[in-house]
């Protein structure tokens, strides 16, 4: 089988899964009259901006890798994208990263106003748990709720963002930088895989492989993000580049240099692909997604 055929098959699978994800997200945002129209518009503005949908894809691909159909995992996929989007809305606020462009659109507080953006993020965080509670299969419900709450909470996503904004001397090293990003970026990536595995009734060995895959993929994703912030095309990225270095933030290229950062990302992706190999042929899409993360240009 040619490499071109494999790449085409992977891209077709991505398109198919993304279509299912978009339909699920659309269903979740069919709000009734009790939701203020401007609040609903702010949520949709951020949620339906052009996006890779990496985290919901990981939920579905993890479920597939365990030999289970994706239908039962679609609500969990939507929930994790709600939390990811809420975190972007809040990260972009003037009190945080103060960004004006996200996913090729004006950020939520620019398109609407700061109060509406804060409330849109609050609403999406709460709704994520409603989506899981109402739709997750019974055998995975407690696990998914508990793990999603932990990943989104003070010890992971929120704590990682806090330390990114307020780095101490402990964070001025590779270990400190990775500690931030294992929480800020990696936690939602890992929980996406763990939720997909729980719904797919993964064995302990399979869950461990998904955990290792997610840990490596999350760090590699952030390294590539840091590299793209230096050399990426703003028109493809959909956001302003060079902002982290201008703000004096510690980044992988700033700490290691560009070449060493690229090599670190490649090594992590190689390890992620090895973990995906645990699933045999069923892990092929997870392996291809890891390559896609390393090679992406936006």
Which two three-digit tokens encode residue 220?
Answer: 């590699």
The answer for residues whose C-beta is within 8 angstroms of residue 61's C-beta and 6 or more apart is 17, 196, 285, 286, 289
| Residue 240 scores a pLDDT above 80 | no
User: What is the arithmetic mean of pLDDT over 283-294?
Assistant: 95
- Decide which of 54 and 168 is more confident: 54
Give the strand pairing for 101-102 and 105-106. Answer: antiparallel
Find where tokens 């990114």 sit: 164
Q: Sort 297 into a burial class: Cβ within 10 Å, 0-12 / 13-18 / 19+.
A: exposed
pLDDT given for residue 231 in this prediction:
79
Four-point Cα dihedral 140, 221, 43, 72, nearest 10: -20
Question: What pLDDT shows up at residue 194?
Answer: 98
Could you read off the pLDDT of 198-207 as tens digits, one per residue? Answer: 999 999 999 9
Find, among 102, 157, 149, the residue nearest to 129 by Cα.
149
Average pLDDT over residues 262-288: 96
Coil, strand, or helix at residue 106? strand
Mean pLDDT score of the chain: 92
pLDDT at 169 over 80: no
Answer whether 0.85 is exceeded by the pTM: yes
> Which tokens hold the place of 254?
């700033």
**Residue 239: predicted pLDDT:** 55
- pLDDT at position 166 is 86
pLDDT at 1: 44
Q: What is the pLDDT of residues 75-96, one digit of tens each?
A: 999 999 999 999 999 999 999 9
- Mean pLDDT across the stretch 170-192? 89
Say if residues 255 and 177 touch (Cβ distance below 8 Å): yes
Query: Distances in Å between the alpha carbon of 36 and those of 27, 39, 42, 265, 281?
Result: 17, 5, 10, 44, 47
Q: What are phi and psi of 102, to 5 degrees?
A: -150, 130
Would you state the pLDDT for residue 250? 81
Mean pLDDT of 235-256: 70
| C-alpha distances out from residue 84 to 65, 91, 121, 268, 287, Å | 23, 10, 10, 23, 23
104 pLDDT higher than 90: no
The full set of domains in the chain, from first to last, is 18-295 (1.10.600.10)
Residue written as token pair 């964070």: 171
Q: Is the model more confident about 287 or about 1? A: 287
User: Rounded distance, CA 82 to CA 75, Å?
Assistant: 11
């Amino acid at each position: 089988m040619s490499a071109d055929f494999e790449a085409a098959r992977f891209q077709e699978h991505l398109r198919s899964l993304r279509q299912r994800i978009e339909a699920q997200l659309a269903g979740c945002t069919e709000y009734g009259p009790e939701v203020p129209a401007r609040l609903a518009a702010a949520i949709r503005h951020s949620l339906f901006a052009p996006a890779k949908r990496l985290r919901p894809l990981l939920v579905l691909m993890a479920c597939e890798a365990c030999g289970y159909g994706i239908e039962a995992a679609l609500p969990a996929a939507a929930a994790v994208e709600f939390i990811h989007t809420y975190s972007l809305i809040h990260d972009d606020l003037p009190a945080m990263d103060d960004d004006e462009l996200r996913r090729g659109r004006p950020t939520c507080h620019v398109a609407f106003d700061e109060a509406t953006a804060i409330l849109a993020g609050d609403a999406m965080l709460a709704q994520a748990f409603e989506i899981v509670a109402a739709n997750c299969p019974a055998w995975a419900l407690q696990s998914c709720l508990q793990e999603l709450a932990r990943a989104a909470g003070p010890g992971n996503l929120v704590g990682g963002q806090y330390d990114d904004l307020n780095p101490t001397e402990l964070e001025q090293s590779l270990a400190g930088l990775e500690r931030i990003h294992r929480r800020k970026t990696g936690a939602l990536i890992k929980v996406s895989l763990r939720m997909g595995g729980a719904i797919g009734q993964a064995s302990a060995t399979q869950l461990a492989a998904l955990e290792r895959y997610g840990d490596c993929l999350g760090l590699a994703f952030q390294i590539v993000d840091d590299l793209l912030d230096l050399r990426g095309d703003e028109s493809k990225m959909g956001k302003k580049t060079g902002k982290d270095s201008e703000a004096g933030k510690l980044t992988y290229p700033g700490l290691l240099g560009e070449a060493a950062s690229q090599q670190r990302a490649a090594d992590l992706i190689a390890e992620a692909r090895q973990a995906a190999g645990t699933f045999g042929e069923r892990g092929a899409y997870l392996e291809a997604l890891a390559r896609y993360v390393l090679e992406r240009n936006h």
